């Protein structure tokens, strides 16, 4: 693989990670908004979609890590760091969204 293709591939992987992680976070935010309106069916649907996007983002990260482990070193760029930041933020927000939805459900039951 040429260096140019490798750099282009890394750019596409980072952009895919950013896109999927961003979608995951946005969908989790939509889930919380639905739960706030006591629409727990929609909240559950949005959380499923958020988790699906998170899996796609995680798969992109895993591919990058596998390449690194196989000696195809990833060039560390601001975009690469930014993509990792998006993933970690999405993971954190999804965890928080699950808790918030649970709280809204408990409040709705009272």
CA–CA separation, 23 vs 90, rounded Å? 9
Q: What is the pTM of this model?
A: 0.87
40 located within any domain: yes
Contact of 58 with 86, CB cutoff 8 Å: no
User: What is the domain count for the chain?
Assistant: 1
pLDDT of residue 7: 80
Residue 1 lies in a domain: no
Q: What is the DSSP letter of 79?
A: H
**Alpha-carbon gap, residue 75 to 19, rounded angstroms:** 20
Write out the residue range of the structural domain in which residue 80 sits.
7-109
> Quick check: is 67 in a domain?
yes
- H helix intervals, the chain: 3-36, 40-69, 78-109
pLDDT digits (tens, 9 = 90+) for 80-102: 999 999 999 999 999 999 999 99
Q: Is residue 2, in this structure, part of any structural domain at all?
A: no
Identify whether 43 is part of a domain.
yes
Reduce the DSSP state of residue 70 to 3 states and report it: coil
pLDDT of residue 1: 45
* Cβ neighbours for 42, distance < 8 A, ≥ 6 positions apart: 31, 34
- The per-residue pLDDT for range 36-73, each reduced to its tens digit, is 999 999 999 999 999 999 999 999 899 888 888 898 88
Rg (CA), the chain: 17
| Residue 44 belongs to a domain | yes
Assign residue 55 the CATH number of its domain.
Answer: 1.20.58.80
85 among annotated binding-site residues? yes
Choose the catalytic residue: 58, 73, 82, 86. Answer: 82
82 is catalytic: yes
The DSSP code for 38 is T
Q: What six digits make up the tokens of 108?
A: 């709705």
């Amino acid at each position: 693989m040429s260096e140019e293709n490798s750099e282009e591939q890394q750019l596409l992987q980072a952009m895919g990670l950013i896109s999927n992680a961003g979608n995951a976070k946005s969908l989790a935010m939509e889930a919380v908004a639905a739960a706030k309106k006591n629409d727990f069916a929609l909240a559950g649907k949005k959380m499923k979609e958020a988790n699906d996007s998170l899996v796609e983002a995680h798969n992109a990260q895993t591919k990058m890590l596998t390449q690194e482990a196989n000696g195809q070193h990833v060039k560390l760029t601001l975009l690469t760091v930014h993509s990792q930041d998006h993933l970690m933020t999405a993971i954190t927000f999804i965890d928080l969204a699950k808790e918030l939805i649970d709280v809204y459900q408990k409040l709705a039951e009272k």
